[in-house]
Amino acid sequence: MIAPRVFQKIDEIRREVVAGRQRGLRVGLVPTMGALHAGHASLIQTARAECDVVVVTIFVNPTQFGPNEDFDRYPRTFAEDLALCESNGVDYVFAPDRAEMYPPDFRTYVTVEGWDSVLCGASRPGHFRGVCTVVLKLFHAIPADVAYFGRKDAQQWLIIRRMVRDLNVPIEVRSVETVREPNGLALSSRNRFLSESERRQAPAIYSALQEAKRAVEGGERRPEIIEKLLRDRLSAVPGLRLDYAEVVSTETLRRPVKLGGETLIAVAAFLGSTRLIDNIIIDVSP
């Protein structure tokens, strides 16, 4: 395996990517905040299978963390991240510092109005404004053909897809299935903060989502009943504090009167101080 070339400057990575595209190469982009795990590896492998050039970005984006969130303790594991990139055949890693992405007089932000204040946005004000802003900047720094996002962060993927549509950004946004531990726990960079006992409780989130899915498959079409089922199951889990359990349409991010079409069943919950999210997306026949 060849080690990926690491870039820190926007102009330099952009020059390289533009040159590749001019030669007719298809470029895939995997934006990350590092602390890479098998979920990221799956995004990279999908990009590797579909593109000639694969670029991974590693940048812990300060603007998507609230004042009381875990920016300082967010894991930074650059050496391990590079090794994972190398073993998965990544060509370029873009790892800018904060000043490269946010010069001191930075004052332009992107919001997908309304969609940034529901679900995770309700308890993380400003989070999706930070995500959209940095992702649009990354799309400009790395003008790729296609960008890959994990479905675990379903709201993020849907918001970015909408931003790209609304602002006519010339990039295809793809989503890749969540990677799970054998017990169902969705892989996340934050899982490393879970204690032994929290790790034992965490798979309850996916079990509850599976039960919700079975209820829909069994004919239940009232979103409030599905949400109640999730609340009931999760309130019985010792040490788990539910942030939200919601059932929304992927077209509107709103709860429909009656389920139909592509539907996102999403949960966010705290185990100790670690916030976990997970979801299931299902196509519901009317």
Among 39, 41, 42, 61, binds ligand PAF (CB under 6 A): 61
- Give the integer Cα–Cα distance in Å for 104 and 100: 10
Give the nearest distance from C-beta 130 to ligand PAF in angstroms.
Answer: 7
Q: For CA atoms 188, 44, 85, 61, give the dihedral sign.
A: negative
In the range 86-145, which residues lie near ligand PAF by CB under 6 A? Answer: 131, 134-135
**With CB under 6 A as the contact rule, which of the stretches 6-14, 29-37, 116-124, 209-217 interacts with ligand PAF?**
29-37
Of 227 and 278, which has the nearer Cβ to ligand PAF?
278
Of 147 and 240, which has the nearer Cβ to ligand PAF?
147
Give the nearest distance from C-beta 40 to ligand PAF in angstroms.
Answer: 8
Residue pointed to by tokens 């890749």: 176
Among 64, 133, 155, 201, binds ligand PAF (CB under 6 A): 64
Of 17 and 134, which has the nearer Cβ to ligand PAF?
134
Residue pointed to by tokens 């204040």: 117
Of 153 and 227, which has the nearer Cβ to ligand PAF?
153
Of 144 and 234, which has the nearer Cβ to ligand PAF?
144
Say which residues have a Cβ less than 8 Å from residue 149's Cβ, sequence separation at least 6.
31, 43, 156, 157, 160, 173, 174, 175, 176
* Backbone φ, ψ for residue 48 (5° rounding): -60, -40
Give the nearest distance from C-beta 236 to ligand PAF in angstroms.
Answer: 30
Say which residues have a Cβ less than 8 Å from residue 218's Cβ, sequence separation at least 6.
none
Per the annotation, the verdict on 40 as an active-site residue is yes
- Give the integer Cα–Cα distance in Å for 89 and 83: 10
Give the nearest distance from C-beta 187 to ligand PAF in angstroms.
Answer: 12
**With CB under 6 A as the contact rule, which of the stretches 3-11, 30-38, 140-148, 200-208 interacts with ligand PAF?**
30-38
Q: Which of 37, 40, 127, 140 is catalytic?
A: 40
**With CB under 6 A as the contact rule, which of the stretches 28-36, 113-121, 213-221, 278-286 interacts with ligand PAF?**
28-36
Among 31, 39, 121, 126, binds ligand PAF (CB under 6 A): 31
Number of residues near ligand PAF (by CB under 6 A): 10
- Give the integer Cα–Cα distance in Å for 144 and 17: 7
Helix (H, G, I), strand (E, B) or coil at 212: helix
What does 129-194 look like in DSSP terms, one character per residue?
HHHHHHHHHHHHHS--SEEEEEGGGHHHHHHHHHHHHHTT-S-EEEEEPPPB-TTSPBP-GGGGG-
Q: Work out whether 32 is an interface residue with ligand PAF (CB under 6 A).
A: yes
Of 137 and 233, which has the nearer Cβ to ligand PAF?
137
What is the Cβ-side half-sphere exposure of residue 196, based on CA atoms within 13 angstroms?
A: 0
User: Which of 31, 34, 5 has its CA nearest to residue 20?
Assistant: 5
Among 13, 33, 267, 280, binds ligand PAF (CB under 6 A): 33
Whether residue 150 contacts residue 39, with contact meaning beta carbons closer than 8 Å, is answered with yes
Give the nearest distance from C-beta 164 to ligand PAF in angstroms.
Answer: 13
User: Which of 196, 209, 204 has its CA nearest to residue 247?
Assistant: 209
Q: State the catalytic residues.
A: 40
Can you give the binding site for ligand PAF, defined by CB under 6 A?
31-33, 61, 64, 131, 134-135, 153, 156
